[in-house]
Amino acid sequence: MKRCRGIFSIIWGVAFILASGSTALGQNEGNMPKEKAFRIERSMPKEAVACIECHKREHPGLFADWANSRHASANITCYDCHKAEESDPDVSTSHYKQYERSDLKYGTKEYSVPVAAAVTPKDCSRCHPDESKQYSKSKHANTMEIIWKIDPWLNKGMNSDFERLNGCYHCHGTILRVKDGELDPATWPNVGVGRINLDGSKGSCTSCHSRHRFSVMEARKPEACGQCHLGPDHPQIEIFTESKHGNIYAAFGDQYNWGAAPGTWTPGVDFRGPTCASCHMSGSGTVMTSHDVTERLSWELQAPLTVRPADFKYFPAQTNWETERQKMSAVCQQCHGKVWTDGHFSQMDRTVEEYNNVYFKPAKQMLDDLYAKGLLDKTKFFDEAMEVEYYELWHHEGRRARMGAAMMAPDYSWWHGFYECKKRYNGFMEEGRHMIKENKKAYKAEDYPNATGDTTKPPEIFGKTE
């Protein structure tokens, strides 16, 4: 009996050795995923310590935000984000002077390092390469190019440079420039999504993840998007608030797990009803997280004539609308059935068709006829009432009708949308026919206020022109 037990022990020992060898072989030569190495260095360079100690005293709010961030937990310091080369065009010269102050503990050359005030997506890409690449392809990052191609306020110089700075560019972004060794106050501060940075990158991650907390929670909440997506022309935050999704958020949002790790935020587990980010950016089911908000779109609802994203000539998307609709449908079906989801998209498509054919195309034809007959003057825009009426038909009521339908806000789709479209359309067409019948030129506002904006297309975007 003892002999049998001994034999069995030998057999099991040999089997264990063979299995171990097979496992080791598999690790070295088999189809095993490469392990990702990540190390958090708990020590800080003395220069980074100087940054923290100084800002803790000089800017306690800034320090508190950073201290409570995931960056701080991972020992990512001021210097890791703001570091620069001495030759970089956006290096702060005034910051160098801090190292010449004898009244400061760290005011010596020993701690002197070049830093830049504006942290750009290129800087963030050192740790977040995928997010930065996705963002660079999006309409957000390229919105300055888009508005300079499509917007008559800019191309016709119908608002002043300062009106643009305080209005348009707060959301769309400025083109950063340097003046006297510092960022030009005519272009900075700014965190617009399409800001053109001095290192050639586009955008600002702090549009959604504000300094210096850089919170995932903040970017997931609809209020982050509502900073820019509001008002008469693109009231997505108001539309969301009216919708069933917004109602659920208002009722249960305080119970959502806003702090779930990136890529893990899951409907039905971490939240009940979606936010803007849930549908347009966050991962859901088999759909991967993306910082390219151009994805998952099957229509360009903000365009004058609704077109597929790849057909939007001012910034054609490198996507297939059917593929992107499948992604959005998959997101919807985390909470809704397929019949419900298909029905919603069918209704939205019908809304687009009616807007395009019943309202926009006839109005555009009337505008073209008035220009062709010399009854309207193309020299400027907005200085004749008919141009304003046409613009607001698509830019205000037309957008609200389409976006309200897309995000299930009936008051915006009807009362703020198509109801207003009807009034605007009827008045526009009546006046147009009257002008043609009477061969009457439109009244032109000769003293149109503040039509002083620079109409030169920015060379940083379009290159230098002769």
pLDDT tens, position by position, 204-247: 999 999 999 999 999 999 999 999 999 999 999 999 999 999 99
Under the banding of pLDDT at 50, 70 and 90, the label for residue 323 is: very high
Q: If we measure between CA atoms, which residue out of 186, 193, 187, 189 comes closest to residue 174?
A: 187
What is the C-alpha separation between 76 and 73, in angstroms, rounded? 8
Residue 278 above 80 pLDDT?
Answer: yes
CATH code, residues 294-456: 1.20.850.10
For the entire predicted model, the pTM comes to 0.88
Find out whether 108 and 50 touch, Cβ atoms under 8 Å: no
Mean pLDDT of 103-122: 89
- What DSSP string runs through 37-82? P--------HHHHHHHHHHHHH-HHHHHHHHTSHHHHTT--HHHHH
pLDDT tens, position by position, 140-171: 999 999 999 999 999 999 999 999 999 999 99
What is the C-alpha separation between 396 and 318, in angstroms, rounded? 27
Give every CB contact of residue 275 below 8 A, 6+ residues apart in sequence.
Answer: 220, 221, 222, 240, 245, 249
| Packing angle, helices 419-438 and 361-372, rounded to 10 | 20
What is the C-alpha separation between 189 and 192, in angstroms, rounded? 10
Residue 37 above 70 pLDDT?
Answer: no
Give every CB contact of residue 59 below 8 A, 6+ residues apart in sequence.
Answer: none
What is the C-alpha separation between 396 and 232, in angstroms, rounded? 6
Under the banding of pLDDT at 50, 70 and 90, the label for residue 34 is: low
Q: What percent of the chain has pLDDT over 70?
A: 91
Q: Where in the chain are all domains bearing CATH 1.20.850.10?
A: 294-456
Residue 385 above 70 pLDDT?
Answer: yes
